[in-house]
A and B are shown apart, each in its own frame.
Chain A
Amino acid sequence: MSAARSVTCPNCGGTIAVKAAGYSVSVGCQHCGALLDVAHPDVAVIEQYEGTMRELPVPLGRRGVLFGTEWEAIGALARSDGDVDWTETLLFNPYVGYRWLVLSEGEWTFGTMLIDRPSGSGGSTLWRGSRYSQDYDPADTVTTQVVGEFYWRVRAGDTVSATTYSRGQELLSAEWSADEVNWTQLIPLGANEVEQAFGLGMPSSGGPRPSFGRRGLAQGLAAPQGGAGPADDEGLAGKLGTSFAQAEPMAHSDLPKMFGLAFATLMLSMLVMIGFGISTATVRSSTSVVVGGPEVTVTVGKITVGRSYQPVTIEARASNFNNRWIDIDYTLVDRATQRGYTAYGVVEYYTGYDSDGAWSEGDFRTTTKFSGVPRGTYDIVADLQAHPWGSASYSRTTSSANAWMLGGAGAGPQAGDRIAVDLIASAGGVMWGNLWLELAALLGVPLLILWWRHQNDDDDDD
């Protein structure tokens, strides 16, 4: 959950959380690709695209720590100088400002805009007492794609002259247009460092298939409920069994106490959770969304958070479907301040055959939780988009102007069928996910001991 200003895209109706509210001027809509002017209260479309964007080097909204500071990826540019295409991800922290994460030909660099001006030009330049030598003659650099939010008026087609000066591994990049000159210091970063910081390229739990949905799994703010707990891991149970076997002096009479204590703790937790998070209201709404069709925006309803920080839970239940996924962006918009809180859910279900035979994966329902929403009255808005899973939606175009797959959203042989979705939201609500985790944690050890003893008894009987 994060402070943001919510705006509605005038082109597609999608809700966009502007993270750097007050600084951001241009927004490339993540839903439809339209370029928007958010400098003023009335949001205006500057330029329209058809289709949606995906496949960014760092997903927008993803956070990572670099140089001891937490950064959120809020915008991305695809740029080209004719020879090389590269991407620049705009990072933001409200307490520190902006930085750049540049990915060019597999190499990452971290960019900081200079507040002072290097002096001299031509073959070399002087900055803070050190001399940097020019790497190449100035070349025209064109911005080919824009997505996310930016603090200046940006648009595809923007062209500047650019060159770099280097001193060892450190680069100074100079870019100038008719209006201004910008200097940026660039420091090389290891790919591992960036991938670990932002959780990039991590294998998803589903195996070899691509990660589904626009944001992948680790969306950070309020991720959909996780899957199975650790209880069914035989290896872990086995190891614990062994270690308990070595920790011999555990009297039989302790077990009832452990169970008793676990249940007492659990009941107390439930009482506390219910006491603090009791449901004040439930609102629901039904809608339907066309696979491969446009995004649907639905207002789930108005909900009031009476306590200072309370959870808000939204469940999405879809009608039956197969090999489809539905991205759902939820926004809670505070009626008093228009401040928005965003979270993401995905409903997905796939079946297929592989060497092991038939498989299926996913669920027709998903629960998304905002863990601590401040007191206030909120409108809950959901943006839904259904996608077919299959080659049609992943066909990759290679032209640089279409680097991020600005494909037509309505295309594809599987498109067209309609999925009904019920959305049920409630403020408060017991955090059942936490309770199950607690149950597993409290009962896990005594149950393991029971199981281990049972095994031993069996052995004795033989």
Chain B
Amino acid sequence: MAELPCPSCGAPVPVRSAALPYVTCAYCQTLIRRHGEGLEAIGKSAVLPFDVSPIQLGTTGSFGPVRFSVAGRVRWGWNDGSWNEWLLDCSDGHQRWLAEAMGSYMLTQEHPELLRRSELAPFAAGGSVARGTSLTLDAEEFEASDIKTARCLGSEGDLPRPTPAGAEMLSIDFRGTNGGAISLQRDSDGASAWIGAALELSQLSPKNLRQLDGWSIPADLR
């Protein structure tokens, strides 16, 4: 893999997909943007606090015919805790996020057309929606169950958009009757809508999970 020196500390920074122009330097946590043949420092991330996430950069897996590899992570914190958003670089060319909170997972893909739904008009217009707001999508009933403002705690690896430490985001989660999930997010770059499903880690047939001291990786996750 090609490497370029970090503009801040000079450590080698791997150059991966052009679709992921932002990268966090693994040594000094400088947030870097790739442009053309060069690298530009645009901000600062932070050292991620130790957590027991079983996922790491380079973890691979699949769902249906789609294979993925974990390319980056953003960690978000709010009043009552924190969670990880893992960026999946997928074999069908799409980027998806795997949200990981409290040992449960939600896999989502961006669906901009969802923002045109009348139920979500207040959100699209720059406001929020009330908890309990309901929405029917593909015959599944969704309900807004979790609304919070989060701050970026740090990042690692490759990312599609810049998320320096301290960046704020409004995050709204809907849960569906059949395990479906909708996630609405708004940060300084604007609003986005994501559709997916809650799932167990084993449903992604993961490989190359992180080895955590004192634990053995279950057979079906190896």
Taking Cβ atoms with an 8 Å cutoff, the residues of A that contact B are: 1-3, 5, 19-23, 25, 39-41, 68-70, 92-98, 113, 115-117, 119, 151-153, 179-181, 221, 337-339, 341, 374
Contacts and interface: CB of A to CB of B under 8 A. Distances in A.
B101 to A, nearest CB: 8
B104 A115 contact: yes
A100 to B, nearest CB: 13
A255 to B, nearest CB: 42
A25 B81 contact: yes
Given A40-B77, A94-B215, A119 B177 contact: yes
10 contacts: A19-B52, A21-B50, A22-B51, A23-B102, A41-B49, A94-B52, A95-B215, A95-B221, A115-B179, A152-B81
Interface string B101-114: 11110000000000
Given A2-B215, A22-B52, A116 B177 contact: yes
Contacts of B216: 70
Interface of B: 49-54, 77, 79-82, 84, 101-104, 131, 141, 143, 145-146, 175-179, 198-202, 209, 212-218, 221
A110 to B, nearest CB: 16
Contacts of B199: 115
A97 B77 contact: no
Nearest to B217: A95
A314 B89 CA distance: 47
A402 B209 CA distance: 42
> What 9 pairs between A and B have smallest CB-CB spacing?
A22-B51, A97-B103, A2-B214, A116-B179, A115-B198, A3-B213, A151-B102, A94-B52, A25-B81
Contacts of B145: 180-181
Contacts of B51: 5, 21-23
A338 B179 contact: no
B221 A1 contact: no
Given A97-B201, A180-B146, A341-B213, 15 more contacts: A1-B214, A3-B212, A22-B84, A23-B101, A25-B81, A39-B77, A69-B218, A70-B215, A95-B217, A96-B201, A98-B103, A115-B199, A117-B177, A152-B102, A339-B50
Nearest to B212: A3
Contacts of A20: 52, 103
Contacts of A116: 175-179, 198
B149 to A, nearest CB: 14
Nearest to A22: B51
Nearest to B53: A22
A25 B198 contact: no
Contact of B81 (A151, A338, A374): A151
Contacts of B54: 94-95
A97 B54 CA distance: 10
Nearest to A117: B177
B52 A23 contact: yes
A165 B33 CA distance: 54
Nearest to B52: A94
Contacts of A339: 50, 213
Nearest to A374: B213
A404 B57 CA distance: 43
A453 B203 CA distance: 63
Contacts of B104: 97, 113, 115
Contacts of B141: 119
A41 B146 CA distance: 24
A96 B102 contact: no
A20 B81 CA distance: 12
Contact of A22 (B50, B209, B215): B50
A39 B151 CA distance: 13
Contacts of B77: 39-40
Contacts of B79: 39
A338 B50 contact: yes
A117 B213 contact: no
Contacts of A115: 104, 179, 198-200
| Residue with the greatest number of chain B CB neighbours at <10 A, chosen from A25, A70, A94 | A94
A25 B218 contact: no
A338 B215 CA distance: 19
A94 B212 contact: yes
A5 B50 contact: yes
A1 B103 contact: no
A22 B84 CA distance: 9
A97 B131 CA distance: 26
A25 B179 CA distance: 25
Contacts of A97: 102-104, 200-201
Contacts of B209: 95
Contact of B80 (A21, A39, A374): A39
Contacts of B178: 116
Contacts of A179: 131
Contact of A23 (B103, B177, B212, B217): B103
Contacts of B102: 23, 97-98, 151-152
B140 to A, nearest CB: 10
Given A39-B77, A40-B77, A22 B49 contact: yes
Contacts of B82: 22, 39
Given A70-B215, A180-B145, A117 B175 contact: yes
A382 B53 CA distance: 28
B119 to A, nearest CB: 18
A355 B96 CA distance: 72
A2 B50 CA distance: 13
Contacts of B49: 5, 21-22, 41
B182 to A, nearest CB: 13
Contacts of A92: 103
Contacts of B101: 23
A1 B215 contact: no
